[in-house]
Chain A
């Protein structure tokens, strides 16, 4: 009996495939958290909110671009003769990146259009 077959790089493959949506989640949590705390703290803090959101957006987009560029090598198949899973994971990764980028930009658009802390009337 040989050693049981293993899935190498399971964590890396999973994180790479989900990276777009994870970046969206981190961006969403950051901008909502920063805005919530700043608006509670008051005037001295609110000026930082929009720059932080824009910076977070640039960072998120850059990270997504990096993943898109590196996905092929990060998801390379163990067995070059059986590439189906890698092709599938690459497709999932790229489509999720596009969807997530839309989510990030939609969140940022809110910051462009609305005041930082005011309630709607």
Chain B
């Protein structure tokens, strides 16, 4: 029996007030919605549409390959198809689908009213929908890239791939990755700070852990490929020779950066799916997950080890054998945590004291165990260098990666659809259709992909448009094509099930599978009626009265004390209540910002620069309008949340969720910078003679010293500007002037750095050394530009009476970004101006 934390009965009209505040906009205003259930469904729906679209491309390709020497599609179109298929599946389906599930399910699992930055999620989703749609449509107008989903240079350099096709990949995917990072910031802060009181880290549901690791991996992995796409796009557009060997570049730099992202990407996709499985299995077995601590360790270890595998994809590039062995060892090490998860799931099933019900979610989970196991075992095979040399770039690899991806992600996703639909839908999906769908997909998958192991070992290379009959792989290809159509039939059955049975809304059974976690509490648009105090990992099993108590408003925050959208922020480790975060409601600004940001990138892709800049201005204006109303100040608090706890509604400093988001942003920016430092040093090892020749272009010491002093001055003035802030209710001129002065000093610092190199005669197009030097400055300059915009925003808020000594979150965030930028700039100065002096050798 749950102890009431809030007095009952609750006042008349309290729930109506919650329903009014959290109501989803209807009709043409639906795009303004920011509720996690609406945004999550839109995100997931869009990802599924991309899955189907990329699947149709796969069917066309399989039809082309069904028989030898066919000409159903042209060779060039086929190249575009496999590029768009792979790119869409990886960037537009797999990662977004997992982020979508995070947005959709995490607030429910944490009994939070929403994640802490709902408009950021909504912005990320709309940017992804618009950008992804345009990218996919390029296949219909002969503008799709044709360099494979990993876009290796030199094949993708301008001289080998003229036109805009490759640029659509580079700018489109770079942009979508930024959207993914925005989602990841939301997930990290959400998991760490919006858990219900009492849900300390040891009680966090495994899916929460998986999403935390997933988002952390995105923070570190995605900046590497963002840098890679920057380098390649800059080389294509402006001729800076990062990848051109005769000017000191190296195509292998792309492979290092791409696979530093690309291999963890597999686990970025797999870990959340594994988290989903770890939620479904205990429900199926009616037993707590066996080895909870081990699973957490496995998720963390997999996340880290996966960054030690990137050369696993480069075994045939001539790298020394010992290097290959390091990565081969890491490839084996990562198999251990994956194995831990497998044994835990099997042990949980085995521990069940009742007959396991083989319903649709359980079937898909079991299918995942079978298929991912085979993919994992062939993964260990290709981690062995001698075997890898034989199988590289053959259909064996195609089979392996599909066993990993579809087994590790698609099967758990379908299990998820059937398992979690009741929390957003009015009724369950059909068991009968679900079983049909499972068996068609499961059998079809194995019919399609198992023969590819054999055709690959017989010598069939990847990415071929057709093949000669004499190769002897025709029968295997025909079987694979039949299997592909069986998969399509299974997906079609699922779509029919969706159309017939999926209706968004309340009214269904709250907990049809008898799960033990919070997402199966009674829900409405405001999430749960009250936020429970959690004292175990499976609160619904350990306290069967909890759903009634939560629905009766007996737990925390049964009302809306600030009169708006809000949720409880708790401490990161122990989940102690800390404050109430006031969150924004529906609005158009994030939609406008997303659409115009996407338009800016797409116009840049086709070199329409002035309209692109105008779109950028509109997007920035929309973002500034959006954030103008977010900082609501402390006036509505403090408020009582029940249980004798009274909380503030406004905080700043290390306790605030905004500060945490800035720390996450530091990690993202730091990862981008580390990728740059790696690239700089890597190209030095490849072409030391270019670096030696570059020494004579180093500016006089006064330039870097002056630039460093200016940037330090900027940080100091920004720090002092807080002291100049007026008291609440007052305005002054000194604070805005100080903030703008700080931004100006930062601008002067980066200008001095660039101008110093320019006057010394260094040109970015002359060698990879020059290109790297200027790139270092660009990475800081883009941060300084952001600081300039944020400083102008802060100055305007002081003048408007919305920024003062108490309500100063905007200035805090601007200061934090400037402090990071200063540190990065100083390290870059030491690297750029110091390293050439200590690297040895004579010019």
Cβ–Cβ < 8 Å partners of B300 in chain A: 18, 21, 92, 96
What residues on A are CB-neighbors of B573 within 8 Å?
Answer: 7, 10, 13, 85
B residues near A66, Cβ cutoff 8 Å: none
Q: How far is the CA of A35 from the CA of B201 in the complex (A)?
A: 39
Q: Are A103 and B293 in touch, CB under 8 angstroms? A: no
Interface size class of B (residues with CB under 8 A): 35 or more
Q: Which B628-673 residues have C-beta < 8 A from chain A?
A: 638, 646-648, 651, 655
**A28–B297 touching, CB < 8 Å:** no
Interface size on A, residues (CB 8 A): 49
* CA A54 to CA B802, docked complex, whole Å: 59
Q: In this assembly, does A106 line the interface, its C-beta being within 8 Å of a C-beta of chain B? A: yes
Give A94-121 as 1s and 0s: 1 = Cβ < 8 Å from B's Cβ atoms. 0110011011001101110111111110
From B296, B326, B686, give the contact of A31 (CB < 8 A). Answer: B326
Indicate whether B321 reaches chain A with its CB closer than 8 angstroms: yes
Given A1-B638, A6-B655, A24-B304 in contact, is the A88-B201 Cβ separation under 8 Å? yes
B574-A99 in contact (CB<8A): no
Determine how close the nearest CB of chain A comes to the CB of B385; give it in whole angstroms: 6
- Interface stretch, picked from B41-49, B503-511, B576-584, B699-707, is B576-584
Cβ contacts under 8 Å, A85 to chain B: 200-202, 573-574
Q: How many Å from the CB of A113 to the closest CB on chain B?
A: 7
Segment touching A, from B162-170, B329-337, B780-788: B329-337
Q: Which residue of B lies closest to A98 (CB)?
A: B297
**Residues of chain A in range 43-57 having any CB-CB distance to chain B below 8 Å:** none
The one of B328, B571, B638, B685 in contact with A36, judged by C-beta atoms closer than 8 angstroms, is B685
CA distance A113 to B655 in the complex (A): 50
Taking the closest CB of chain A, its distance from the CB of B572, in whole angstroms, is: 5
B72 within 8 A of A: no
Q: Which of B574, B646, B685 contacts A40 (CB 8 A)?
A: B685
In the complex the two chains form, what is the Cα distance from A28 to B293 in whole Å?
A: 25
Interface centre among B386, B574, B646, B655 (most CB of A within 10 A): B574
In the bound complex, what is the Cα–Cα distance between A114 and B323 (angstroms)?
Answer: 10
The answer to whether residues A28 and B296 also contact, given A40-B686, A114-B321, A119-B318 and a CB cut-off of 8 A, is no
Q: How far is the CB of B158 from chain A (nearest CB, A)?
A: 29
Q: Is the C-beta of A91 less than 8 angstroms from some C-beta in chain B?
A: yes
List the A side residues contacting B200 at CB < 8 Å.
84-85, 88
Contact between chains at A7 and B304 (CB < 8 Å): no
Per the bound structure, the CA–CA distance linking A116 and B324 in Å amounts to 11
A117 touches B333 (CB 8 A): no
Query: What's the Cα separation between A21 and B579 when bound, in Å?
Result: 33
The residue of chain B having its C-beta at the shortest distance from the C-beta of A114 within the complex is B322
Given the interface pairs A28-B330, A106-B333, A107-B330, the reply to whether A7 lies near B574 with Cβ below 8 Å is yes
B688 CB contacts on chain A under 8 angstroms: 40
The answer on a CB contact under 8 Å between A103 and B305 is yes
| Complex CA–CA separation, A103 to B332 (angstroms) | 9
In angstroms, how far is the closest chain B Cβ from the Cβ of A90?
10
Given contacts A6-B655, A7-B571, 11 further A-B contacts (CB under 8 A): A5-B576, A6-B576, A7-B573, A24-B304, A35-B326, A89-B202, A106-B333, A116-B320, A117-B320, A119-B321, A120-B321
A-B contact pairs, 28 of them (CB 8 A): A1-B647, A4-B578, A4-B579, A4-B648, A7-B572, A21-B300, A21-B301, A21-B304, A24-B305, A24-B308, A25-B308, A28-B326, A32-B323, A35-B323, A82-B574, A84-B200, A85-B202, A88-B202, A91-B297, A99-B333, A100-B301, A103-B308, A113-B325, A114-B325, A117-B322, A118-B320, A119-B321, A120-B385
By a beta-carbon cutoff of 8 Å, the part of chain A in contact with chain B is 1-2, 4-7, 10, 13, 18, 21-22, 24-25, 28, 31-32, 35-37, 39-40, 78, 82, 84-85, 87-89, 91-92, 95-96, 99-100, 102-103, 106-107, 109-111, 113-120
